[in-house]
Amino acid sequence: MDTSSHISFASHANAFAGALTLEAVRQRAPAVFAPSAHERMSSKYTFIPTERVLSGLIRAGFVPVDARQTMARRASPIHARHVVRLRRRFETVQLRDSVPEVVFLNSHDGTSAYQLRLGIFRVVCTNGLIVSRGAFPTYCVSHRGNVVDDVIAGALETSERFGSLADQVERMERRTMFKDEQIQFARRALELRFADPDQHGMQPAQLLSCRRTEDLGGDLWSCLNKVQENLCGGGLRRLSAKGRLTRTRRLTSIREDVRVNGQLWDLAMEVLAA
């Protein structure tokens, strides 16, 4: 697990708050405003600050609603991997409790190309989910050539899939899950984060615990959100490998957050396809 990169999407994001100003983005993710690439990058690397790309996305009709970056101990913080979540200024896709988003990832130290993924923000629990590559394509733009225009084009193409994303969510809301199906889903979810099922010291049912009344439903969408929040948010009691009672930690690795979220979405798609 990559424990050197940290991210939390839900701390400040609010579906009813206005867009972040560039100054607010700077406070949360200074790497967005990096003045240059990391010194180890070669001459083939085209440095274009994320700020310039973000400004282009804003002009194209997107608004930033959350921004985070890695908290690397040994790496340069100004060149670190960072994430900005964006929404369309005028959204036509309506969901019962969620808002579709474009998740924009980048770094200036060679660890990440510009990436655009589909995301979704659930209002009732401030969950920031990320959709899998298998369900919808990820747009990657290398640090060469006409980066700004290419990223904007990728964001526009990504947002054109909001309607299809909404269809998947609505199908999940209609799919009732029996208790044994929910337990099986939670068991497989545990294995996504903890490779050795004998070492996590937890029961699958713990991932199905409700943190609010809105999660009491037995549909697939409620199950996915309960499992995602409990698995990634931490705070659940567990027995350590040494037999001590402890609590799970919040998942803070950028790579792991994206991986686990994507694979959870794939598990939900398997249930729909069954």
pLDDT in tens, 240-262: 666 778 888 888 777 788 899 99
Q: Which residues of 256-266 are buried (b: 16+ CB within 10 A; e: fewer)?
A: bbbbbbbbbbe
Q: Give me the pLDDT at residue 5, please.
A: 40
Q: What percent of the chain has pLDDT over 70?
A: 88
* Cα 90 to Cα 61: distance, rounded to the nearest angstrom: 8
Do the beta carbons of residue 25 and residue 84 sit within 8 Å? yes
The DSSP line for 168-237 is HHHHHHH-B--HHHHHHHHHHHHHHH-SSTTTS---GGGGG--SSGGG---BHHHHHHHHHHHHHH---E
Do the beta carbons of residue 221 and residue 124 sit within 8 Å? no
Exposed/middle/buried for 4, CB within 10 Å: 0-12, 13-18, 19+? middle
* Cα 159 to Cα 101: distance, rounded to the nearest angstrom: 8
Tokens 């209609």 correspond to what residue? 174
Of the candidates 29, 147, 39, 163, the one whose C-alpha atom is nearest the C-alpha of residue 92 is 163
* Cα 7 to Cα 257: distance, rounded to the nearest angstrom: 8
* Cα 119 to Cα 130: distance, rounded to the nearest angstrom: 4
* Cα 155 to Cα 45: distance, rounded to the nearest angstrom: 22
Q: Give me the pLDDT at residue 74, please.
A: 66
Confidence category of residue 14, pLDDT binned at 50, 70, 90 = very low
Mean residue pLDDT across the chain: 84
Tokens 């959204």 correspond to what residue? 91
Q: Give me the pLDDT at residue 241, please.
A: 67
Residue 87, classed as helix, strand or coil, is strand
Asked if the model's pLDDT at residue 134 lies above 90, the reply is no
Q: How far is CA 234 from CA 44, 150, 213, in A?
A: 41, 37, 19
Do the beta carbons of residue 223 and residue 246 sit within 8 Å? no
Of the candidates 101, 36, 109, 29, the one whose C-alpha atom is nearest the C-alpha of residue 65 is 101
More confident residue, 42 or 176: 176
Give mean pLDDT, residues 100-128: 85
Q: Which residues of 76-95 are buried (b: 16+ CB within 10 A; e: fewer)?
A: eebbbbbbbbbbbeeeebeb
More confident residue, 198 or 26: 26
Q: Which residues have C-beta within 8 Å of that of residue 21, sequence separation ≥ 6? A: none
Q: How far is CA 41 from CA 50, 79, 168, in A?
A: 16, 11, 41
* Cα 118 to Cα 129: distance, rounded to the nearest angstrom: 9
